[in-house]
Structure 1
Amino acid sequence: MIKRKINEFLTLTGLRSKGIFIPHRYIKSFKTRKYRYLEKFFNKYFHNMILNIQSITEYEDNLIDLSTTFEPEPRWNQDWFPRLDAASTYFMIRKNKPKKIIEIGSGHSSRFLSKGIVDNKIKCDLVCIDPKPRANIKNLPFINHIELKIQDLNIDNFSFDQIDILFIDSSHILMPGSDVDIIFNHIIPKLKIGALVHVHDIFLPDNYPNSWSWRNYNEQTLVATLLLSDRWSIEWASNYIKSYLYKEIEKTFLHRLPLLNNAFESSLWIKKL
């Protein structure tokens, strides 16, 4: 809290840029609303998600074994990329057998991506774009780590129209020129039909957690608009599954996987139609 207030002071006074400040008039606060149309959209893919929950049991032994691993191997005792997010990522790699993945924002998720590729025993190029990953990804198999921000790269040098999976864990802030702007308005339109997209920290059809209000994330409002274009199907939504389909989780080994207190499960997997 103290560090946050110091950063706010430095930014507001112009002494140092430690964030983004957006002034507004006449509005004391913002009241969030229920995403009613999105609820209907998510319900449309209810059975799709149940099928994937049932299918993930094929990899029970592989995922249970990770309970005894240590860094830099993928592990459960962390809250950056917890249980349902990590398990679904491993599952999506095993199920879809991608040949090319680009990940924007790396760390614990990269470890599960790499593990899925290794266990598939097929060649796959995994490009991780992140100047400072939240977890060590050095020496992980199949990873080509680019230590730059996506804003600092010429995206025309990447064949986004040929990738199978775009994996996103961004700053979660939409502003002109931000990573979210570049990803959703310049990269995603290039993806081929059938490509999978993962976006982390998405709580739709619910709002962001109240405890996160200070972060001022707004990425999922853009994701909501993308989904309502009706050109995407939902393959997995961790928050929706935990909130509305938990009885299905209890039927599988997933409910026995470790989950740290206060960890938010929030992966969204969608497919371009």
Structure 2
Amino acid sequence: MLRVNRLSRDIIKSTFLRVHRVALSGGLVVLPNHYYTPIADVRELERTKDKWAKRSPMTGIDADIARQASRLQEIVKPFEPEYRGNSTYQEGAARGFGPGFGYVEAQALHGVLRWLKPKRVIEVGSGVSTHCATKALAMNASEGHPGKHTCIEPYPSDYLKSSPEIELVASKVEELDPATFDQLGDGDFLFIDTSHVVRPVGDVAHLYLEIIPRIKPGCVIHIHDIYFPYSFQRDLLDALFQGAETTVLQALLTNNDRLEILFCLSMLHYDAQDVLKEVFPEYVPIPDVNGLNVPNTTGHFPSSIYLRVRG
């Protein structure tokens, strides 16, 4: 009987695999609803929301809100007259450079780049953020602080291909030699906006295992779509795709003194909205329930985190 059961399981697995491969050729992923499948059953999530939809205590991570708020005010606020109205962001969005980077995040990016004045910027994942970074770097250059801007983008837009200010590396980041990032040093800037998905031979695994640990002290790292102090995305119950990058980052930061949080906009959104309103006067916080979206509401949820590598 045991041999029959094993044979039956093997037949079922091989059948599922054939169906899966056929579906892939049509652009679909068909997998069984099983605990080995890395996609959560949203029906089960809805039933058990009271058990998992809660903050993480961020154990082992130095994420003091008062210090984050102070750093945001010191680093970004002095440049508020420059990013007021967000004309660069609005121009980039109107030109179709990408919808994934938020209004407030763009203002924060401008402030950080103007404060840091990096000699080298490497951007992994591009879009309207690229346009905003280019403008901030141009202002730095006009003040005698030029910066080299490199974009790693496997699917470059015409804008990236034609921009004279940008060095384009048309490749997947996971296919690059990690030594590509050794040029970044003290005062330089690494911008990360990934697929957010953990999969074999993917961008997230490569960045967190092979790239970030080798970045030299003094470099500032930006990561987008981080949901601290929650470990899940705000649209988890309504989204087709489920990311896990926030969880991976939390694991990396736990008991890790080499990476310090300068500020995390999502944490400030939840715990220091008055400070965000002071630094970003146009900021209108969007409501949530235990870290999840509220239907039919509008506003801002900034989700960039800025880290600095310690020596």
Distance 1:158 1:54, change over 3 A: closer
User: Equivalents in 1 of 2:25, 2:135: separation in Å?
Assistant: 44
For residue 11 of structure 1, report the CA deviation from its aligned partner.
6.5
Match of 1:272 in 2: 309
For residue 184 of structure 1, report the CA deviation from its aligned partner.
0.8
Stretches of structure 1 that go unaligned for 5 or more consecutive residues are: 1-8
TM-score, normalised relative to structure 1: 0.80
User: Equivalents in 2 of 1:102, 1:258: separation in Å?
Assistant: 30
Among residues 215, 220, 226, which one is paired with 1:196 in the alignment?
220
Question: Residues 137 and 147 of structure 2 are in contact (CA less than 8 Å); yes or no, is this contact kept in structure 1?
Answer: yes
User: Equivalents in 2 of 1:48, 1:25: separation in Å?
Assistant: 38
Count of equivalent residues: 263
Which has the higher Rg, Structure 1 or Structure 2?
A: 2
After TM superposition, the structure 1 stretch with the greater mean CA deviation from structure 2, 259-268 or 84-93, is: 259-268
Distance 1:72 1:79, change over 3 A: closer
For residue 79 of structure 1, report the CA deviation from its aligned partner.
4.8
Among residues 21, 25, 33, which one is paired with 1:15 in the alignment?
25
For residue 193 of structure 1, report the CA deviation from its aligned partner.
1.4
User: Equivalents in 1 of 2:25, 2:90: separation in Å?
Assistant: 42
Question: Residues 74 and 112 of structure 1 are in contact (CA less than 8 Å); yes or no, is this contact kept in structure 2?
Answer: no
Percent identity reads 23
User: Equivalents in 2 of 1:101, 1:21: separation in Å?
Assistant: 40
Q: Aligned runs of 1:1-273 on 2, under 5 Å?
A: 13-18=23-28, 24-25=34-35, 29=44, 32=52, 34-38=54-58, 41=61, 43-53=63-73, 55-64=75-84, 66-67=86-87, 71-72=91-92, 79-121=99-141, 122-133=145-156, 136-140=159-163, 142-160=165-183, 162=185, 164-206=188-230, 207-211=232-236, 213-231=239-257, 232-252=259-279, 254-256=280-282, 261=298, 264-273=301-310
Q: RMSD of the alignment, in Å?
A: 3.5
After TM superposition, the structure 1 stretch with the greater mean CA deviation from structure 2, 127-136 or 172-181, is: 127-136
* 1:174-233: CA deviation from partner (whole Å, max 9, x where unpaired): 122101111110111111112111111111112311355431101111100111133222
Question: Residues 111 and 140 of structure 1 are in contact (CA less than 8 Å); yes or no, is this contact kept in structure 2?
Answer: no
TM-score, normalised relative to structure 2: 0.71
Question: Residues 59 and 254 of structure 2 are in contact (CA less than 8 Å); yes or no, is this contact kept in structure 1?
Answer: no
Stretches of structure 2 that go unaligned for 5 or more consecutive residues are: 1-18, 287-297
Distance 1:271 1:42, change over 3 A: same
